[in-house]
Amino acid sequence: MEKWGCSVCGYIYDPEIGDPENGIRRGTDFDDLSDDWVCPDCGADKENFDIAE
């Protein structure tokens, strides 16, 4: 599973960690996040994320 980075603030979504503060369990692939999921740091929409290198 690939990591995804927020182009607004630099937050990295790592599927091995998930987003537990927002109910996203570890092992959840970025593509499986709901369309209304937002960056937990800055609130940017999912469309503002790109694959992190």
Residue 5 counted as an annotated binding residue: no
Residue 18, Ramachandran bin (φ over 0: left; ψ between -120 and 50: alpha; else beta): left
Residue 6 counted as an annotated binding residue: yes
Residue 35 counted as an annotated binding residue: no
Residue 22 counted as an annotated binding residue: no
Indicate the annotated binding residues. 6, 9, 39, 42
Indicate the annotated binding residues for Fe cation. 6, 9, 39, 42
